[in-house]
Structure 1
Amino acid sequence: MSTTWGPAAGAALRAYVLQHAANADAGLQRVADISRATGTKPSVYSKWFAGTEQPSVSSLEKLAPVIKAPLPELLVLACRVRAEDLGMESAPEAPEVLGHPLARELDAMLAEDSPLTAAERSEIEGFFDRYLEPYRRAMKTKSRRRAS
């Protein structure tokens, strides 16, 4: 990766930030969500991700804990420091997004801080328990066959 800020660096930072945010388990699916969580205007992120404005160190310091990303990696991706200067062999890559987006959304819906009522969450859980029962039975049978 180049240490020069521009569109390619902005795109790499965008992929890294959005994928870390998705894995952060905090309902951060979109730039608007990240913007709200950090108190930074969405237009600032748009400029970063387009490579037209380089993120400041203080902005990256606010962002890192929100998306649960190591600050040194963000500094490298934002071209504030070279990977070699931090003892890294290469620039970090965006992590693989964990789980299916629907599973992450369902987790958010069923969380205690969900806008849904306890009764609504219970109804959804009951639906999925009934819907998944045939699958669960099939998986138990399959695991018993492997064990024998």
Structure 2
Amino acid sequence: MSFGDYLKDAIDAARFPTPTHFARAVGMDPSVVLRWLSGEQRPTIRSIERIAPVLGRTINELVLAAYPDRLAGPPPRPVPAPHPLVRELDRMLADDSPIPAADRRALETVLDRMIDPYRQVLRRRRSA
């Protein structure tokens, strides 16, 4: 799989309608992202550091996808798309959210209490 294909899948999985929307979300010129998608260019490490969190990928995954010829190791596994609520909650709880800080803290507290019983179940499942 080429980096362009990998990036296209990652952009789709992150639920961006187009590569241009993704480029704007990470503060890049859309032409740069289009050159990555076409295989004309590969991203710099600095660019990878910038786009990885937005795509929900690790820096290592993106480096392996962009530079497989320079690194030994298996290609990165595709990461399933996060649930749509994940992105929505991320925006709601972000520091720059329009929701008042007190309401964000209350929402965070309620959510934390609701998911707390499931944390132990998930920890057990991963270790199995």
TM over 0.5: yes
Look up the equivalent residue of 2:10 and give its one-letter code.
Answer: Y
Paired with 1:83 and 1:16, the residues of 2 have a C-alpha distance of: 22
The answer to whether the aligner puts 1:60 opposite 2:48 as a matched pair is yes
* Bigger relative CO (Cα 8 Å, ≥ 6 apart): 1
Give 2:34's match in structure 1, choosing from 40, 46, 51: 46
Alignment match, 2:115: none
Q: Deviations over 1:41-74 (max 9, x none)?
A: 1111111011011111111111012222100000
Pick closer, same or farther for the CA change 1:41–1:60 going to 2, 3 Å.
same
CA 57–33 in structure 1, closer or farther in 2 if over 3 Å, else same:
same
- Change beyond 3 A, Cα 1:38–1:79: same
TM-score (norm 1): 0.49
Report what 2:71 is aligned to. 82
Contact 1:14/1:49, CA 8 A, preserved across alignment: yes
After superposition, residues 92-111 of structure 1 pair within 5 angstroms as: 92-98=76-82, 104=84
SS of equivalent to 1:69: coil
Displaced runs of 4 or more, over 4 A: 111-114
Equivalent pairs, count: 90
8 Å Cα contact 2:11-2:19 kept in structure 1: no
Q: CA RMSD in A?
A: 2.8
Gaps of 5+ in 2: 99-128
Asked if 1:10 corresponds to 2:36, the answer is no
1:92 to 1:53, Cα distance in 2 relative to 1, 3 A: same
Identity of aligned residues (%): 26
Contact 1:10 1:50 in 2 (8 A): yes
* TM-score normalized with structure 2 length: 0.56
Cα contact 2:45–2:63 (8 A) shared by 1: yes
Q: Which has the larger radius of gyration?
A: 1
1:137-148 correspondence to structure 2 within 5 Å: none
